[in-house]
Amino acid sequence: MSIVKLGYVELAVSDLDRSKAFYVDTLGFIETTRSDDALYLRGVNDFDHHCLVLRQGEVVPQWNEIGWRVDSEAAIDQLQARFQGDGLQVKECPDGQESGLGRCIRLIDPLGQPVAFYHRMEQVETYARKSHLWRGAAPRRLDHVATTTADVKVAQAYYEGFGFHTSEYAETQDGEDVFLAFMHVTSHDHDIAFVKKAPASLQHASFWMGNVHDVVRVADVAADAGYKDAIEFGPGRHKATNSFFVYLFDPDDNRVEFYTDGTWIPDRDLPPVRWTFDQYIAEGRLAWGDKAPESFRSQLIPGKSSL
Amino acid sequence: MSIVKLGYVELAVSDLDRSKAFYVDTLGFIETTRSDDALYLRGVNDFDHHCLVLRQGEVVPQWNEIGWRVDSEAAIDQLQARFQGDGLQVKECPDGQESGLGRCIRLIDPLGQPVAFYHRMEQVETYARKSHLWRGAAPRRLDHVATTTADVKVAQAYYEGFGFHTSEYAETQDGEDVFLAFMHVTSHDHDIAFVKKAPASLQHASFWMGNVHDVVRVADVAADAGYKDAIEFGPGRHKATNSFFVYLFDPDDNRVEFYTDGTWIPDRDLPPVRWTFDQYIAEGRLAWGDKAPESFRSQLIPGKSSL
Amino acid sequence: MSIVKLGYVELAVSDLDRSKAFYVDTLGFIETTRSDDALYLRGVNDFDHHCLVLRQGEVVPQWNEIGWRVDSEAAIDQLQARFQGDGLQVKECPDGQESGLGRCIRLIDPLGQPVAFYHRMEQVETYARKSHLWRGAAPRRLDHVATTTADVKVAQAYYEGFGFHTSEYAETQDGEDVFLAFMHVTSHDHDIAFVKKAPASLQHASFWMGNVHDVVRVADVAADAGYKDAIEFGPGRHKATNSFFVYLFDPDDNRVEFYTDGTWIPDRDLPPVRWTFDQYIAEGRLAWGDKAPESFRSQLIPGKSSL
Amino acid sequence: MSIVKLGYVELAVSDLDRSKAFYVDTLGFIETTRSDDALYLRGVNDFDHHCLVLRQGEVVPQWNEIGWRVDSEAAIDQLQARFQGDGLQVKECPDGQESGLGRCIRLIDPLGQPVAFYHRMEQVETYARKSHLWRGAAPRRLDHVATTTADVKVAQAYYEGFGFHTSEYAETQDGEDVFLAFMHVTSHDHDIAFVKKAPASLQHASFWMGNVHDVVRVADVAADAGYKDAIEFGPGRHKATNSFFVYLFDPDDNRVEFYTDGTWIPDRDLPPVRWTFDQYIAEGRLAWGDKAPESFRSQLIPGKSSL
């Protein structure tokens, strides 16, 4: 059994129309469908039904769920048995209950993070070669999430069990523990990152852009549309993972990143890049440019803590 | 008296809605206004009312007019007196008769080309920093026109009289005449080009794009919207003028170019770059890539021959 | 046992200095090392010792080998046993015999293609964040190879055994066979493509570029350095795999592609995109632009036929 | 008589080799020649001998001179007579005394700024289509300078006398004076900017890049080469002039900008864009992104105060 990819992120928002104005009308996500209480969005390169769900909620910002695609229906059964065997509460979501999504199971996982596992998602038409319909900065697809967790080594071991591998990590100041780990199951540098900090929270969800121009275009279209203050950090260059980024707050203070470049690494067995804490702070975090604002560390998106 | 810039191009089209689908909905020109028989379009960086007029006409494709902006109202008077003194028919167009345009004079000029001279055009809001509203490939502005003329040396002398300078030229095969001249009055490589060939016709009108990405995007959005066969030539690189280009036919076979890079040359007194005919054919026309199709030479946009 | 990635391509060349002028001095590959008879090159994002070997040879152009990285040393043993069991000749290459490469096995595989399987390659410093040392167009890394084979369905079944999946394919004209298949084991659209044609040959080796600008830059730097005639086809856009490309012949007529965009597909179980022959020819091959020249089909790089 | 363009900037540096490492080896300026005490550099699109002179000096950083190209030799005579008539000290520099430069006159002008006027500069081969030799970020050409002056209205009137026009300006807080003016004589948004502040100093010299990618590349190559701390501000977007920028300190704390986009304005008679002080501070200075660091206002490059 293994995880295939990060399939979707669900965030809580307070006003669907306001979220649509930001994500669809300004940034250029494609709206696949809308239910009574949620928007199902995808990037222009996606053939999956959605990679971002924005659900009307009382508590915002909030990380409701990340959805991992597994390699078979049987894998869902195995996971259900395993988690129940471990005494965790697992909620089954039948095929079609969630728009576009096959059967899935939901739980607050051993790391305290709200996750789902699914195998099937409705395939829809990609906008990859419908570029005449692109709007805004036309995000391509979901890339990764960055989360906080009390013990990064525990998180690494847990995700290694799903076939993940650490591509880069930074040690804690004393060199005895792990401060930050980038983990991947696909061929890109990371599908999930873990930062040592309790409780389990989302630092950001990251979407792939085609190139540096389009990351800059995120800042341009956001500011031009009146979301200037929503741009928290960047555009800039991370040296760790070698990526070019910009971070924005959505209207409910969910943090989303738009990302390009990065490291191609199909190998899931090579020694990861190691940064000491001081190296990471001095160099790894930023190849150049202004330090991250205080909010970048202090302001997190709480994970939903019960089903 | 001198010319300030190439202000606009007017082309004849057979169906305004079909032209709008191509120029506005697909390529991303901004529609400033629409009259009974014409669309007035501008690029996203323009603050002038329009740089492209598409007028319903019986004969298509057809080059109806290019509009030169002169440096004063008095300059219009001087030109009117001069052309009338030369026995040319000059038609006066009063302020406001043409949407957004001040008073102008119109004539078939001594080169046989349909031109207008004006000083005032209504200033409108630029979309330069309204990037969230851009569509398609978002052409920035009009750059230049390329025309045919019976005697390029005559055309050069005539336009030198308006303050123009030749930036680059190619000789005829025998080295005794000029085959092609690029002339500028602004700081860019050319505002008008002349190719030796009778009668006076438009080879193309060219629009400025911000960068190579956006020139490629012209091809992408055009093909994705169903105009694949409209792409005649390119994307490619001209070595003369050092520009990156793509040429398309609009639905009436008017040829439009989308263009970037090029040569910055505020100097209007330096010796022009000289190409022998063979050098120009072998190297100048194309830095690399496929030869221009036969249509590129044979298929021209006839100039309107009477007012 | 599964294949991790396409690790390297080895091509035969007639003059190492001439090849270095093309690949290193002009295009910007990094020279890791040079032996008596070979150049070992890598892209600017590579941390592997090499992804391209250019070996002095009598017969050029020639595809000497592609090297597949497998997930363990034990996998090499299993493959050796299997191929020998099938009566194939397998040559063992001990650790370090080839510069930077661990132990590998070499054979003419069941498809008649010259391949090697290895697990270890020396890790070297990546130039990803040494951009001040980049030259030319700075190819990032090896992306894929396209090969010919007598029976594509046989090739698909054979590579499915290594964990590959078909992302897109085109049928033959009669709809009864497969004309072309794109197969991937990593998260990108293809690591190897098969076109129905005997004998086993390389159509091209493809290298990843960061964006459209840099693909165009390949054409610019090649032409500016005097390799204008080496540019065979493009820049252009494939609709199948949604990629932007340019193809060049190296000084020995080995064909190399420089490539960007493409389709992200970590899923190796979804139904592949299917093109009928007519759709593929009309649309899939090219989203827009000039047809491929005759050479693109007729001129192949013969595979080495004996060890 | 009128000014044709800003031809060059001369800055004082303390160590020519160290400056060469920064400007030539890292950023990619072309070294045209080197004298005992100066480096003469140009951009890759330049056909002029130089646009940047770095002269060994005791006092650094220092703005030694800007060189304005005028439209004739006679214009130099006229200016000499005029300035001498006004009681200013004018130093004549004979043809060839300065490498590549024709006869010029030098003075501390009525604004207290060190300037030269020249007509002839040696024409050299452009690297525009020698892209295979480009290094670093390959700056294209000099674009503009930004300077401080005690009274911006006086500076505007003075430069209007040379044919300049104000494209955009910001008022002082009380609305009674001008805080900042962008002035152009070419077709781009500004060739010189004036900020109200005494004494006459250079805020920055700005070089043109082809696109957003290459401005970001300035930051990348600088940081990768060890000049991370030299990046003072950006990359970012100015809303006034609609430009994309990054500012660096050279090893002697001369501030250089790398710049793209901006506004095309061949018209030198249209009403300038007007910003109130508050609008300019809130919006005009930055379309988005971090505020300029304190150094950006406080740290200037003193103008040479005597010949």
Q: Can you read off the two tokens belonging to residue A89?
A: 């509460």
CA atoms within 13 A on the CB side of C134: 30
Q: Is B26 on the interface with A (CB under 8 A)?
A: yes
Closest C-alpha among B199, B185, B194, B108 to residue B154: B194
Q: Which of B130, B213, B225 sits opposite A213 (nearest CB)?
A: B213
- pLDDT on residue A224: 98
- Per-residue pLDDT, averaged over C234-246, amounts to 97
pLDDT at D89: 97
Residue B187: name the closest of D184, D42, D259 by CA.
D184
Residues of chain C with pLDDT > 70: what percent? 100
Q: In the structure encoding, which two tokens stand for residue D174, read together?
A: 């009380």
ipTM of the modeled complex? 0.96
**pLDDT reading at D1 higher than 80:** no
pLDDT band at A67 (very low <50, low <70, confident <90, very high): very high
The C-alpha atoms of residue B223 and residue A130 are separated, in whole angstroms, by: 9
Nearest chain D Cα distance for residue B170, angstroms: 18
Q: How far is B131 from chain A (nearest CA, A)?
A: 5
> Quick one: tokens of C220?
């610019």
Residue of D129, D211, D213 with shortest CB distance to B287: D129
The amino acid sitting at B152 is V
> How many other C-beta atoms are found inside a 10 Å radius of the C-beta of residue D160?
14
State the Cα–Cα distance between residues B235 and C244, nearest whole angstrom: 12
What is the pLDDT at residue B290? 82
Got the DSSP string for D126-160? Answer: --TT-GGG--TT---EEEEEEEEES-HHHHHHHHH
A chain contacts of residue C163, beta-carbon cutoff 8 Å: none
* D94/B67 Cα distance (integer angstroms): 45
Question: Does D132 touch chain B if contact means CB atoms closer than 8 Å?
Answer: no
Tokens (6 digits) for B270: 């330096």
Question: Where does the pLDDT of residue A292 fall: very low under 50, low under 70, confident under 90, or very high at 90 and above?
Answer: very high
Cβ neighbours of C225 in D, within 8 Å: 132
D300: part of which helix (H) or strand (E)?
none
Q: Does B211 touch chain C (CB under 8 A)?
A: yes
- Helix (H) or strand (E) holding A177, with range, is none
Distance CA A225, CA A25 (A): 9
- C179's CB contacts (< 8 A; 6+ apart) are C152, C169, C170, C171, C172, C173, C195, C196, C277, C280
Q: Tell me if chain B has a CB within 8 Å of the CB of C291.
A: no
Are A221 and B129 within 8 A, CB to CB?
Answer: no
DSSP letter at B251?
T
Does pTM top 0.90 for this prediction?
yes
Task: Give the residue from chain D lying closest to B44, CA to CA.
Answer: D263
Nearest CB to D288; choose among A212, A228, A289? A228
Would strands C255-261 and C201-208 be described as parallel, antiparallel, or unpaired?
Answer: parallel
Which tokens go with C64? 């000497």
Measuring CA to CA, how many Å separate D56 from each of A17, D31, D40, D64? 62, 16, 12, 11
Could B216 and C222 be called an inter-chain contact, meaning their C-beta atoms sit closer than 8 Å? Answer: no
Count of beta carbons in the 10 Å neighbourhood of residue B70: 22
Beta partners for residue C5, in sequence order: C69
Q: What whole-number distance in Å separates Cα of residue C178 and Cα of residue C170?
A: 6
CB A103 within 8 A of CB A93: yes
What proportion of chain B, given as a percentage, has pLDDT over 90? 97
- Contact at CB, C211 and D211, closer than 8 angstroms: no
Q: Are D131 and C221 inside 8 Å of each other by CB?
A: yes
Please list every residue in chain A whose beta carbon sits closer than 8 Å to the beta carbon of residue D231: 288-289
Contacts of B223 in chain C (CB under 8 A): 237, 287-288
B117-171 confidence digits (pLDDT tens)? 999 999 999 999 999 999 999 999 999 999 999 999 999 999 999 999 999 999 9
CA D217 to chain centroid: 20
Task: Quickly list H helices, chain D.
Answer: 16-20, 73-85, 152-160, 212-224, 277-279, 294-298
- pLDDT of A253: 98
Distance CA D224, CA C138 (A): 15
> Which of A125, A126, A131, A248 has the highest number of chain B CBs within 10 A, making it the mutation to test binding with B?
A131
Comparing CB atoms, the residue among A129, A131, A220 nearest residue B131 is A220
Q: Residue A20: in which H helix or E strand, if any? A: helix A16-20
Within 230-269 of B, beta carbons closer than 8 Å to D belong to 239, 242, 261, 263-264, 266-269
The pLDDT score that the predictor gives to residue C46 is 98
Mutating which of C187, C242, C268, C288 best tests the A interface, going by the most A Cβ atoms within 10 A?
A: C187
Instruction: Residue A256: count other Cβ atoms within 10 Å of its Cβ.
Output: 25
> Strand locations in chain C, DSSP E?
3-13, 30-34, 38-42, 52-56, 62-70, 90-93, 104-108, 114-118, 141-149, 165-171, 178-184, 192-196, 201-208, 231-238, 243-249, 255-261, 273-275, 301-302
The whole-number pLDDT of residue D121 equals: 98
How far apart are the C-alpha atoms of D234 and D227, rounded to whole Å?
Answer: 14
Per the CB < 8 Å rule, is B264 touching D140? yes
Each residue's pLDDT tens digit, C176-205: 999 999 999 999 999 999 999 999 999 999
Residues 6+ apart with CB under 8 A from B87: none
- pLDDT number for residue A264: 97
What secondary structure letter does DSSP report for A297? H
Tell me: cis bond preceding D235? Omega within 30 of 0 counts. yes
Indicate whether B307 pLDDT > 90: no
Size of interface A-C (CB pairs under 8 A): 66
Neighbour count for residue D297 (Cβ, 10 Å)? 11
> Is C1's pLDDT higher than 80?
no
D211 has a chain C CB within 8 A of its CB: yes
Provide mean pLDDT across the span C141-152: 98
Give the D window 146-185 contacts with B, CB below 8 Å: 185
**The pair of three-digit structure tokens given for residue A211, joined into one six-digit string:** 């190139």
Question: Is C92 in the A-facing interface, judged by CB distances under 8 Å?
Answer: no
Q: D158: how many CB neighbours lie within 10 A of its CB?
A: 17
Count of C-beta atoms within a 10 Å radius of residue A306: 6
Q: Nearest Cα to A65, choosing from A294, A249, A254, A275? A: A254
Residues on chain D touching A212 (C-beta within 8 angstroms):
212-213, 216
The answer to whether D29 and D42 have CB atoms below 8 angstroms apart is yes
